[in-house]
Structure 1
Amino acid sequence: MTNRSAGSNRADSPGLATKDQGPRTRRAAASVEEHLELVTRLLEPLQNRPAESVSVAESLGRVAHSDVLSPVDLPLFRNSQMDGYAVLATDVSTVPVTLKVSATVPAGPYEEIRLDVGSAVKIMTGAPIPQNADAVVPVENTTADGGYVTVDVSRAAGDYIREQGSDITAGTLLIRAGQMLEPRHIAVLAAVGLSQVDVRRRPKVAVITTGAELVDAGSQLRPGQIYDSNGVTLAAHLTANGADVVAVNRSSDDADEFRRILRESTAVAELVITSGGVSMGDFEVVKDVLEPLGGQFGSVRMQPGGPQGTATIDGVPVLDFPGNPVSTVVSFLMFARAALRQAAGLPPISARSAPLAHSITSVAGKRQLLRGRLGSAGVELIAGPGSHLVAAMAWADVLVDVPEEATSLDAGTDVRVIPL
């Protein structure tokens, strides 16, 4: 991933200098559901992902594209469950009994050995069982003396022998299509000798943050500058929800710079997400560039995250989120997360209901998405509605979804909560 610094200030952005800065027109604000329907249609090409083959060693967190069947039996051959002695059960039915040790079999490559009546073969855990042997006596039940061993505990046929195919047989279903691969799944794939596995191809997504005021974390801030948190935040959310983040770039408010970065992004990505530059101000570079190209911009009746935009550039869908950090995250959660998880084959993250731990007030006509935390008494708000309250997102574990029409809700009222 790359991260470019802002290249010019708003006041002297040459690409915007000749643009008419007259009053903007407002479209009727859309509901959350109306905008979500628009975004869902826009992202339909991301669905039905093809397969790609990846190394089993690198498949952690990927989603199996199809059922995986075992190509072999497990165990691959009859082998010893213990360090001890391979014997005929009839030879140790009466104990103590002393047997001649005719050979030693370690784990690893071997030449087949046949066990004779009245003898024993010293054997290590995992080593192949000699022909004719039908039991293993653990070493702790024996006493060795030179080339002989005395067996003190009798054993029945089958004791301490792992039979071929006793775990699984060739053709057994190991992994179902749609399963996200965890370490336990990787273990069985490796055990049956598979080096590659077909997984769902991840959607390739590029991120562009905008604003002449943005600088990299760790930089020395000048007056009016702030750290660019949206780039790394969106990349983290995208990765956590099954996307392959192919670029994280930043543009100033210069239109030519934004066009160049957008062109580079659409060349490598199947989806581009921008933050900032979509509101009603004079220096809204995303809106300025994309609206003449058919982009749709307007307001959604939600807080935070009201200003929203969509476009298709070079055949690639572009989602345009507002730039305040909380607005960016809430926009992603409400409009992009579900579609990306579906495209990646990940299970949906479902909302649930929970009682309010205390009463709240809300703004009429706007759907409030407030930061909250679930506890034994229900869900409590941990911050106000402001889109700049970044720390509260770290402390929260849900968004509290307050309907447009609500102006106040009493303690104990069930509300919809969306896991973060």
Structure 2
Amino acid sequence: MPILSLKDAQQLIVSQCSALSTETVSLPEACDRIAGQAIKAIHAVPAFARSAMDGYAVNSRDLTGGAEPVSLKITGEIAAGTTDLPRLTRKSAIAIMTGGALPPGANQVVPFERCERKGSLVLVHSPPRPGAFIRARGTDLAAKQTIVRAGAKIEPQHLPLLAESGLAQVSVVARPELAIICTGSELLDTLDTPETGQIIGGNRFLLAALLRAGGATSRDFGLVADDCDRIVALLREALDGPSQGVITTGGMGPGNYDLLPQAFATLGIRPLYTALAVRPGRSTMFGLYRGKPIFALPGPPPAVFLLFHELVLPALRTMQRQHRPLPPLVRATLATPILLKKTGILNLKGAVASLSGKHLSVRPCRKNEAANAIIHLPPNRKHLLSGEDVSLRFCNPAFL
């Protein structure tokens, strides 16, 4: 089987993943979900003209605009939420609070700061222009205007508009669920005490967190020793369950105990690739079982992190009907030099990117530092200098 490039593998994965169905959720459940269709306002927002300041509702015809203040009779008061609105008559003013509905006959609001109250009269100084300090009907949204486009994430700032426009529930794409299986006889649970040669298995927690950040849920099938029968049994259980796919870690090298290829064969899974021209990731597989994608990743957590973003995340975004399954590569300036141990294939490195004005710079992660980007280093370069331009992909597409 030919060794695929990373780009070809990504295109293959996206082509093999299907969009999930939609479901209806209430607004408290809608944040961070993906809109299953364009979400449009039922009503205009605001639904009525309202005051943007505490002041007096007046009509500009009663304000002469001369040097002398205009005296108007105060005939009422409107608080936010008042529904029985008095009509504004000639040469009068109605006190109005921020958010209060503009009364019939008024066409502007004069803030308290520009007025002087004397008993039942108000003297208006420096009257503003007609229409001032009013939020007109439909200023924020017209009826049937799109609030969230199909395939976009529903953000917290969308929720007030959704609510005010008359929507109590919305259509979203179902969350994908992927099963997690971590292989390796050396792996122990967090409650165990490792002896020499044993380690605590952390990939299950890493993958669960990455899936959650990618809008998906996970089903943890735990740790399994390097025993083909046990691996096959756990894979079969995961694949026959409700999850839309499976991610495994470990068991992907050329060693005697790297059993994932054998487990695939036992289950009748034909891999669509068995190696990629990328480091890390040369030893990785992708296959389908009754239409469900299976990602077999190597064991080291740094490799799992990088390959999740490059291989698994495009699948999740495709399942959730997002328009760009893979965030684009962008150019950035190296802030520090890079010396590679091996060349010949594409190298991926976890990195920290930062934006200063319009200048995007990037550097490799320091030990135990969280990455927000992945640098794509060309196969024909061993030494890259500070100040050179490199390609990177953000781990969080919202950064763009």
- Structure 1 and Structure 2 fold alike (TM over 0.5): yes
Mapping 1:382-401, distance limit 5 Å: 391=367, 394=370, 397-401=373-377
Q: 1:171 to 1:298 in 2, by over 3 A?
A: closer
Structure 2 unaligned regions, length at least 5? 396-400
RMSD: 3.6
State the distance in 2 between where 1:292 and 1:263 align.
Answer: 10
Equivalent position amino acid for 1:101 in 2 = I
State the distance in 1 between where 2:254 and 2:148 align.
Answer: 51
Partner of 1:31: 3
Mapping 1:133-144, distance limit 5 Å: 133-144=106-117
Stretch of structure 1 that moved more, 172-181 or 121-130 = 172-181
- The secondary structure found in structure 2 opposite 1:144 is strand
Q: 1:288 to 1:167 in 2, by over 3 A?
A: closer
The alpha-carbon deviation at position 208 of structure 1 amounts to 0.9
Work out whether residues 306 and 350 of structure 2, in 8 Å CA contact, stay in contact via their aligned partners in 1. Answer: no
Q: 1:99 to 1:46 in 2, by over 3 A?
A: same
Paired residue for 1:184, among 157, 161, 169?
157
State the distance in 2 between where 1:155 and 1:419 align.
Answer: 48
Paired residue for 1:229, among 188, 198, 202?
202
Identity %: 29
Equivalent position amino acid for 2:122 in 1 = V
Partner of 2:398: none
Work out whether residues 180 and 346 of structure 1, in 8 Å CA contact, stay in contact via their aligned partners in 2. Answer: no
Work out whether residues 355 and 378 of structure 1, in 8 Å CA contact, stay in contact via their aligned partners in 2. Answer: yes
The alpha-carbon deviation at position 310 of structure 1 amounts to 3.6
Q: 1:265 to 1:140 in 2, by over 3 A?
A: same
After superposition, the C-alpha distances for 1:99-158 in whole angstroms (9 at most, x for unaligned) are 433222211142132223233322212112222233333222333344443434445543
Q: 1:338 to 1:321 in 2, by over 3 A?
A: same
Q: 1:170 to 1:414 in 2, by over 3 A?
A: closer
Equivalent position amino acid for 1:294 in 2 = G
Paired residue for 1:48, among 19, 26, 47?
19
- The secondary structure found in structure 1 opposite 2:208 is helix
Paired residue for 1:369, among 327, 348, 353?
348
State the distance in 2 between where 1:92 and 1:408 align.
Answer: 76
Q: 1:261 to 1:43 in 2, by over 3 A?
A: farther
- What count of residue pairs does the alignment treat as equivalent? 382
TM-score (norm 2): 0.79
- The secondary structure found in structure 1 opposite 2:312 is helix
Partner of 1:294: 268
After superposition, the C-alpha distances for 1:176-198 in whole angstroms (9 at most, x for unaligned) are 22333333333322331322222
State the distance in 2 between where 1:79 and 1:395 align.
Answer: 47
Asked whether 1:274 is paired with 2:253, we answer no
Work out whether residues 58 and 110 of structure 2, in 8 Å CA contact, stay in contact via their aligned partners in 1. Answer: yes
Larger radius of gyration: 1
Equivalent position amino acid for 1:137 in 2 = V
After superposition, the C-alpha distances for 1:280-329 in whole angstroms (9 at most, x for unaligned) are 33334434433222234844454333322344345422121122223333
Asked whether 1:68 is paired with 2:39, we answer yes
The alpha-carbon deviation at position 43 of structure 1 amounts to 5.6
Equivalent position amino acid for 2:162 in 1 = L
State the distance in 2 between where 1:303 and 1:252 align.
Answer: 26
Equivalent position amino acid for 1:332 in 2 = F
Structure 1 unaligned regions, length at least 5? 1-27, 384-390
The alpha-carbon deviation at position 79 of structure 1 amounts to 2.0
